[in-house]
């Protein structure tokens, strides 16, 4: 079966962030992911990864003012310099933390630019980031996100993301496929995974509705996980869900859905 990475932004939130690494290891995870490392020195996070023998499989590029509701700046024509500075910062962290792929959140559609300006900005920013990351052996990912959870998010369907990747024209740009987001936007989960597997570098999961533990929603998650294994997906599956109660109490799905 595929390998699962604990998303420390979403799981073990009963503890302060820096204590979640130990909790993930105690729960049996070999790998973790999270949204952003930038509030802490990279060396501090690296020490925790080493202490608990965890692999960090993914984090995001800087995404603007998160607390103010921003969800990425790659589509903002007025913030190209800020975006490029963020690419450099992310590379610095990734090199220290041993991360080999970074996700770029495109952001909410700005209301102070034309569609042409927005599209050109996204393409140029992704082309720049993909080139810079490739020089350090790091893959760039983009992720479609459902517009119910994040109204106005500029990238929200698989086909749209793949068309954008084609326009960028880089061999270092891939799709991050979040099962929860795409179940809400379009369904056809296993067919999409089969059709586009070579372009998918990372998968994330959560149930729908509720974004809780796998196995608690409308999808047959066991079937999806078996399908990923059958089609040859060898990457990690990020557990980016909201525990219905205590994180540890809800981890039984790791056994019941994968054995």
Q: Exactly one of 82, 143, 218, 248 is catalytic; name it.
A: 143
- Per-residue model confidence as pLDDT tens digits over 84-131: 999 999 999 999 999 999 999 999 999 999 999 999 999 999 999 999
- Per-residue model confidence as pLDDT tens digits over 141-159: 999 999 999 999 999 999 9
- Domain edges within the chain: 3-256
The separation between CA 19 and the C-alpha centre of its own chain, rounded to angstroms, equals: 21
Annotation marks residue 143 as catalytic: yes
Asked whether the predicted pLDDT for residue 166 surpasses 90, the reply is yes
Contact criterion met (CB below 8 Å) for 196 and 176: no
Asked whether the predicted pLDDT for residue 189 surpasses 90, the reply is yes
Give which of 191, 162, 164, 165 is closest to 179, Cα–Cα.
191
State the pTM of this model.
Answer: 0.97
DSSP calls for 87-133 = HHHHHHHHHHHT--EEEE---BPPSSS-HHHHHHHHHHHHHHHHHHH
- Residue 139: strand, helix, or coil: strand
pLDDT for residue 238: 98
Q: Exactly one of 19, 213, 218, 240 is catalytic; name it.
A: 240
Annotation marks residue 70 as catalytic: no
Q: What are the CA-CA distances from residue 126 to residues 49, 84, 131, 167 (Å)?
A: 29, 10, 8, 10
CB burial of residue 111 (10 Å; 0-12, 13-18, 19+): exposed
* The CATH classification of domain 3-256, taken from the options 3.20.20.150, 1.10.230.10, 2.40.50.140, 3.40.50.300: 3.20.20.150
């Amino acid at each position: 079966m595929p390998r699962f990475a604990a998303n420390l932004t979403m799981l073990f939130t009963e503890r302060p962030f820096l204590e979640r690494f130990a909790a993930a290891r105690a729960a049996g995870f070999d790998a973790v992911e999270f949204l952003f490392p930038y509030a802490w020195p990279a060396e501090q996070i690296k020490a925790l990864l080493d202490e608990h023998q965890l692999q960090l499989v993914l984090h995001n590029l800087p995404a603007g003012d998160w607390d103010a509701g921003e969800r990425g700046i790659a589509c903002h024509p007025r913030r190209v310099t800020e975006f490029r500075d963020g690419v450099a910062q992310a590379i610095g962290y990734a090199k220290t933390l041993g991360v080999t792929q970074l996700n770029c959140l495109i952001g909410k559609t700005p209301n102070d630019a034309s569609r042409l300006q927005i599209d050109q900005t996204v393409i140029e920013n992704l082309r720049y980031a993909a080139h810079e990351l490739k020089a350090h052996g790091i893959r760039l990912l983009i992720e479609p996100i459902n517009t119910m959870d994040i109204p106005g998010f500029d990238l929200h369907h698989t086909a749209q993301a793949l068309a954008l990747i084609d326009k960028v024209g880089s061999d270092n740009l891939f799709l991050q496929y979040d099962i929860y987001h795409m179940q809400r936007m379009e369904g056809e989960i296993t067919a999409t995974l089969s059709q586009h597997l070579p372009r998918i570098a990372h998968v994330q999961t959560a149930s729908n509705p509720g974004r809780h533990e796998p196995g608690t929603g409308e999808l047959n998650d066991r079937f999806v996980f078996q399908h990923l294994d059958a089609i040859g997906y060898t990457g990690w599956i990020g557990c980016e869900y909201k525990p219905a109660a205590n994180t540890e109490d809800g981890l039984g799905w790791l056994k019941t859905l994968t054995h």
